[in-house]
Structure 1
Amino acid sequence: MPQKAELSVCKFGGSSVADAGQFKKVKAIVDADPARRYVIVSAPGRRFSGDTKVTDLLIQSSDAPHLLVNNMAEVEKRFRKIADDLGVEFDAEGQVEQIRKNFKAGAGIQYLKSRGEYLCAQLMAAYLGYDFVDSAQMIVFNYDGKLNVEETEKNLREELSKHEHAVIPGFYGAYANGVTHTFSRGGSDITGSLVAAAVGADLYENWTDVPGLLMADPRIVDKPLAVPVITYKELRSLSLMGAEVLHEDAVYPVRKKGIPINIKSTNEPEEPGTLIVSKASYYKQVLDVSGISGKKGYAVISIVKEKLNEDPQFQIRLANVLSEQKIKVEKRSTGVDSVELVVEEKTLRGKEDALKAALCEGTGASSVEIKGSLALLAVVGRKIASAPGVSVKMFDALSREKINIRFIDYGSDSISITVGIDEEEYKHAIRAVYQEFITCVSKPVE
C-alpha cells in the first residue's frame, strides 16, 4: 500500500460541519494526523430531514430581499449555537451584521451566497487553533467568470507557504477588483483540489457523509458497496453516464499533478473510503468492476442502407444531416448494412418525421426507424478489456431477469460496456447487474 502522506489537504462538506457534534468529529480527524495541515470547509448543511442548508438560506435572501432579515437571523443563530456548544468565542452577531451591511451597500448576490463558507471557516479556524485565510485573497476569476488558474495557483502557493496550518473557505474567490465570485454549487470541492495542487500535497482527502464512492446509485440499490480504488479515467466514464461523483473541475487540478484523492466519511473515519488514482496497477483489485451507472431519456435511430460500410461518403453525409438537424450522438454501432445511433430523446421531439425524411434523402438510406424510451446502463472497470468474464456476467444477469438488450456498445476506451434497455426495466437491470458482481467480492486483504 502507498506510504503515509506527509502533507494532506482536507475538504469537509456541508454535512461534516452541520452542527457542533460534526465540528468535533472534524477536529478529531484533523488532530489524528499531523499531515492534515490545510482544511477547506463548506457552509453548514442540513442537521436533520427538513432542515435548510445555510447556503440555501443565503440564496433565498439574495433572490427575495424581503427574506433577508429573517434568514440572516437564522444564519446568526446557527453559528452562535455551534460556537456556544463548542465553547469557542465567536462574534456571530457582529459578523452577520457586517455581512448584512456590506450586502445592502452593494457587495452583490455572490458575496452573500458565499458567506456560509466564510463564517464556517472562521469558526473552524478558531476551534482548531489554525489560521484563517480568506479564499478571496487567493482564488482569482477573470472578468468573464472563468477561473484564472495560473494566478490562483501562484497566490495559493505563496500565501499558504506563510501558514503552517490554515482553514480556507470553499466555494468562492474574487475578481481582480475584489468583487466576490462563486463557483457553481459544490464548488468547495474545486477549492480543495486547487489548494492540494498548489501546495504539492501527497493526498487530497474529501470528507463527506458517505464511506466512499458507491458502486451503484443508493436510490436504486440498497446499501451498495463502496469502491476501494478507482482511476481518474474510470471516474470520468462513470460521471459521463450520470453517476453522482466528483465534478471534473474538482478533479482536474489534482489529476494533473498526480495527487490521489481519498473520499471518506466524517461519520466513519476508520473506514478506508475510496482512493482515486492515476494508475491502479499498484493496488489489489477487490471488485471486478468499479461502478454501475446509467441514464434514462434516450432514443435509438436505426438507419438501413445496403453495403453502407462500402460507401466512404456515407458517414460524411450522415454527419452533415445530423449537424443540420442539431442532433448530438451519444453512442453509435455500425454493421454491414445498418447503423444505430443513440441520442437524447428530448432532442427529437416534434421533428421525428422531418429527421427521418432528411436522413433518407441525405444518406440514401432505404429505411429509418426511431424508437424511444431507452435507458443506457454502463458497467465500468479498468480490466474489462482483459477480463472477458466481466461482459459474460453482465449479459448473464440481464438474461436471467429476461431483460431485453436493445443496443450494445463496447467503449473505445476499453474500460466500459454500455447496453440500451427499455426504460421500464432500468432499475431492475441495475439491481440485477449489481447483484451479479458483488456475489464474487472477496474480503479485501488487510
Structure 2
Amino acid sequence: MTERRIGLIEFGKALNNSVSVPGLGELPGGQVSAGRATRGARARLIRFDRVVADNLRLGIVVRKKFFSSDVEPVTEAGFLKDVFVVTGRDDLGNGDALELYSDDTALPDTSRQVGLAQVHAPAFDEITGVRLQVHQHSGVLREGSLVGLLRGGRGGGLPMRVLRLLGPVGPVPELRAGQPGTVLLGFQCEVPPMPGDALACFHEPEQEYLEQREGIAVVHGLNPLPDGSVVAAVEVPEQVKSNQITVGSMVRVLRPAGTTFNERSTVVATGLRVTSLSRNNVMVPSARGTGVFTVGLTRGDVREGDTIEVHVPAPGTPGAGQPLAPPPPLAPPGPPSRELPVPQAAPGPVVDLNTAPPPELARLPGMTPQRVAAAIELRTRQGGFADVEAFGVAIGLQPHEIVRLRGKVTTSRIQHHGGGVRQLDI
C-alpha cells in the first residue's frame, strides 16, 4: 500500500481554540480544511512549512455537542468540521497543521527498544478509549513516546503514541523503572490489550525538523524527453500563501481523487528532482509566488492533473544533500554521412498580440474563433495586453495553453487611450 493523504486539520481556524475534557485537560481545536479526519489515522505535524514530527496518531477525536459545552467522541469528521484531538503532542497551537495519511508499508523504525512496561489492568471508556495500568520495568516512558503492544514477545498492530501519563496523584511527564502509572492510548489499539501484555518503548532520533515544504504546483502540460526526464507546465494556485520552487529540490507526485468534501490523494512517485526552472521564458534558479512556471523533472512519473510537492529534506535525513545526477553522456559521433543535409524550416514569425489582425491570431495554438473575437474586443477596449500571461488570462486560456504561446508571440507597447476632461454646461 502506498501513502494516501486523507485529510488536513488546521489549528487556529476553529470556532473554539480549545475545550476542557475531564481526564484529559485542555484539548486543542482545529478545522478539517481538506478531506476527512479519521480517528486512529497517522499524522504529520507541519509548523511554518516544516514537517517537525511524523508518525503521530489521532488517538482521540471529540467535538462539541450542539448548544452545549459537553463533548462527544467521533470516529470521523468531515470537511470544515471543528474537532479537538489528542496525538501525544502537547504543543499544538495556532498556525500548526496535522497532515493525515495512511500507509501500511512505510512504518516507523522500531528496531531499537529502550524501555518496557508490564500491563496489569486495561480499562476503556467511550471518550478516552483504552488506558492501561502499568509498572515500568526498564527504561523511561514519556508522554508522546512511540510504543508497541507485545504479547508473548510478539508485536501486534501499528506502533502507537503515549497520549497521556498519570501517576498516583495526577499527570506526570514520565515513568521511570520501578514506578507504577497509567498510560492513555485512546483509540489506537488494533489488538485489545490484556493483563500480562507488555508495552515496549522505541528509540526515536531527536531532530529539529524532517523536511522543509517549499510549495506545490498543479501540472497542466507535459513534454517528455528522450532521456526519460520531462518538462512540465505547472501552475501554483493563488490560494497558496507561501510558495517557492528551487532547482535541485526534491519532488513527490500526488494524484488527487475524490470531491471537495472528501478530497484525498495518493503519492504515486517520490525521489524526483527539479532540474530546471523558467518563468516568462527566462531560466531562473529559484522562483517564489503564484502563477505559471515551466519545470524540468528528472523522471516522467507524472501526468496532467497531478500535483507536485517540492521539498528539501533536513540535514541527516535520507535524500538530504544528494547532488543531481549528471546528464547522460553524449553519444560518440558516427561516421560522416554522405547524404545532403536536409534544410531546416525557419521558425515562424512572432505574432504581436497588440497589433496582429484576426487571421494571424487564429493561427496561434488554442485560439478558437470565440477567443479571437474576445481578444480583439478586449484589445480595442483597453489598448492592448501587457504580456502573454495577461493575454491568456483575459481570454480564458488554460496555463498549459499559455505556455504553448511563449516564443510565438510578443506584445508591443500598450497604447492607452487617454480622454480629456469634458466640462458640462449647467
Superposition TM-score, scaled by structure 1 size: 0.26
Superposition TM-score, scaled by structure 2 size: 0.27
Higher CA-based Rg: 2
Bigger proportion of residues as helix: 1
